[in-house]
Amino acid sequence: MTESERYMSILRSAMRVLGMQHRELAKKLGWNPSYLSRLFNGVIDLKVDHLPQLVKGVGLEMQEFLRLAYPESALPLSRAADSLRGVFPHVAPSQVMQMSDSAPTPEVKRTITISEDELEKKIEEKLESAVRKALLNVLSGRG
């Protein structure tokens, strides 16, 4: 599955959980419904510029969407990410192992196989939880 297909799968699941139809999203965005249908059916590729618009149209913030797409990892930060913490202070504290410069960088590779149905179920569960949490925040005056 490509990254674009994964993003569209997350958006599709979000729309299903939130009870939103393609026509409704197309109207919100001012887009042609047939364009949106071709996009969701993989006939045309997702443009990077369109992702934030789609995410906002579904009712999510880009940061929320990215957390759904890339849940926090238990893996350590790469040396590059660790080096950028000073430039981007919101990057998580360093989890990079302290090593001498002569030591090789350890590579951590993990392959997880999950079916598309399992992925959609997990995404739906995460979305339901996020929506529930957001609604509770709004209702309690914190959102």
**Whole-angstrom distance, CA of residue 106 vs CA of residue 96:** 10
- In this prediction the pTM is 0.58
User: Would 62 be classed as within a structural domain?
Assistant: yes
User: Would 99 be classed as within a structural domain?
Assistant: no
CATH number for the domain harbouring residue 134: 1.10.260.40
**Whole-angstrom distance, CA of residue 104 vs CA of residue 54:** 42
Helix, strand counts (H, E) of the chain: 7, 0
Tokens of 41: 């059916």
Q: What is the pLDDT along the chain (143 residues), one digit of tens a residue?
A: 888 898 999 999 999 999 999 999 999 999 999 999 999 999 999 999 999 999 999 999 999 898 888 887 767 878 887 778 777 766 555 443 333 344 444 555 556 677 777 777 888 788 877 777 776 666 666 65
Range of the domain at 25: 1-73+111-143
Structural domain count, the chain: 1
User: Would 78 be classed as within a structural domain?
Assistant: no
* 17 Cβ contact list (under 8 Å, min separation 6): 124, 127, 128, 131
User: Would 91 be classed as within a structural domain?
Assistant: no
Tokens of 62: 């880009």
User: Would 103 be classed as within a structural domain?
Assistant: no
User: Would 53 be classed as within a structural domain?
Assistant: yes
Q: Is residue 49 within 8 Å of residue 7, measured between CB atoms?
A: no
